[in-house]
Every structure is written in structure tokens, then in C-alpha cells.
Structure 1
Amino acid sequence: MFNKHLFLTNVGISLTLSGVGDILQQHYELLQGDQQKWNHTRTLHMSVTGMTVGIFCHHTYKLLDSFFPGRTLKTVLKKVLVDQLVTSPLCITIFFVTLACLERSNVNTFVMQLKQKGWRLYVADWVVWPPAQIINFYFLPTRFRVLYDNTISLGYDVYTSYVAHEIPLEVEAEVCENTE
């Protein structure tokens, strides 16, 4: 499974755990009384974002290993730096592009979400991922990296669902003026 069908395995795991992260977040919202019933469409959308990000991550890890072969501390730190400075912002952008397409958001809403919510996710990303990726790049073979990422990511997926759906956008004056 982790050799012959690695791409499908990685994408399937990403899709599934992103959906599970949303289910956990919605369950919490239901328990808190913030939500009346489970939103199936939201879970589907979060799952699809997991799929698109999973596709990107599958190929990114292969590229990182080809550009930075080996597992020395210096090589691992280079991979972590590229992961945080390049891969992470691209994953967050892919997430919001996918969500905007699925929710049929207009460009202004997409840009505001990316700027406000994307930044919040990126800051959280710096807390979670550098230590996790040091372990990932130092100890694990490439074929297990997306699985490891998604296992760590389950908590991050819950937070991503919260940020994407529960934190209101701060409406910018420019957008309000354009709608008048």
C-alpha cells in the first residue's frame, strides 16, 4: 500500500483526516450550542481541501528529497526551512482556493480569507510543524511522510476547520465601498 499505491494512499489519508478534523470541530460546536446540526456540505468541502493539499504534499516531499538528499542535520534543517517558507504558504493558499471554489466565494472574500485567516493558520503552522518536520525528515522514509504529517495534522485540521468556519472576517472598508 505504501509502495505500489503511494499516491492514492497519501491522498486518501489526507482527504479522510481533513474530513475527520472537521467532524471533530463540528461535534465540539454542537456540544457548545454554537451549531444546531451537523453541516455535511462543510465536511465534504473540508475533505476535498484535504485531497487537494494532499496531492500537493505528495509531490512536494518527493521533490524535497530529490533536491536535498540525505538525513544529516544540515539537510533536514534545509528541508524544514523550505517546508515552512515555501510549502506551508502554498498549502494554505491551495486550501483557501479550493474552499473558495467549493463555496463559490467571490474574489474579494477569497482574498480577505487568505489574508486574515491564512495568516492565522500560517502563524500556528510555525508552532506545530518545524519540530514535527524535523522528526519527519530525519527519521522517516519518503513513503511514510504524508501519513505521518496527516497523523500530526489531525489536531491542526480541527483548528483549520475552526479558523475557516468560525472566525468571522474583519470586513475591510474597501470591500464595503465596492458593494454599495
Structure 2
Amino acid sequence: MEALYGTPAAASIRKEIDYLHPHYQAFVKAAPFVALATQGPDGLDVSPRGDPAGFVHLHDDRTLLLPDRRGNSRIDSLRNIVHDPRVALLFLIPGVGETLRVNGRAVITTDPGLLARFAVAGKLPLSVLVVHVEKVFFQCSRAVLRARLWDPAVQIARTALPSTGTILQDLSQAEIDGKAYDAALPGRVKATMY
């Protein structure tokens, strides 16, 4: 592989550290979205996490706190963490090409004091991930720029793809009524956001 790709530039090596430098803390505070990657006995998982910017709290320069909000209750990521605490996080900030990568080890807590720090409209997360940071670095903007991720000109209408209900109806062989699912979805999402 090194013969094919060559050696990394000095900047690619120097940007990697084992703590959250104030510059990297700024990325965490500005990010409303993070992808959480885990590994367990059944394989790999990557799961989206999002809230208003700053929803991932900086406990200190080596510890992040990530609330686990309501979702589909599959808890694939949490099951994986119980088996293997290694996690990888990828922070994205709308309009910014660079991403922030954080690798570390996580534990799941239901400590009432920590849960209370993440209350929204009186509703608590079900748990909080305490991520002990081992490696942090920013990723250059090339992938985001090539994808034109933040460019409104390439955004597509949600109606250009099969609806959630259509997918569920087809995959369940009509056990799930797709039209009814789609009709109820906006209200259900709004009522169960937190």
C-alpha cells in the first residue's frame, strides 16, 4: 500500500493528537451531527446522532459526553459498546468541509446527574456515552467538497426516493401498511423527538 500511496505529508501526521486541543474543541462545540461507529460480535455499526450544535459536551480535554436520544430502540451501538468499548466518532458541521475524527473507548452510564445535564423540554436521554479520547484529528475537506455535501444546487427532493412507508411495506411483504405509516410519520417524529 505504501508503494501505491506513498508516505503521508508531515501535516497529516502532526494533526493527530491524543487529547481535545482547544481548536478541536471548537469543532465539537459547533457540530450538530456526529456519526458513531462501533464493533460487536455481529459486526460493525455506524449510527447517526444529532441535536443542536454543542450537544456533545466536553467534560475535559480527554473526555466527551454524548447523550443517547430516542430512536428506533435497536440499540445496536450500545450492545456493541458493552461487548467492545472502542468507538469512532465523525463530527460534521454544516457549511464546513473539514470533519473531526475522534477514536476512543466508551462506557454507557445512566447516572442521574449526567442525564440531567442533557434534558430538553424536561425530557432526559435514556443514557449517556462517556467517551475517553485516545486519538483526535481533523480530516481535510476533499471528500465533502467532491460530494458537494453542503451545496443546495445538488440537494434532491425527498420525494425522489422511495418513502419510508413504501420501503417498509415492500420489505415486510405488506405486513406494514406503507401509506398509513407515511401518513402517521410526521406527527410521530414530532411527538417523539425527545
Decide: shared fold, TM above 0.5. Answer: no
Pairwise TM-score range, normalised by the shorter structure: under 0.3
Highest Rg: 1 or 2? 2
Normalising to structure 1: TM-score of the pair? 0.26
Normalising to structure 2: TM-score of the pair? 0.25
Q: Which has the higher helix share?
A: 1
Higher relative contact order (CA 8 A, sep 6+): 1
Q: Which has the higher strand share?
A: 2
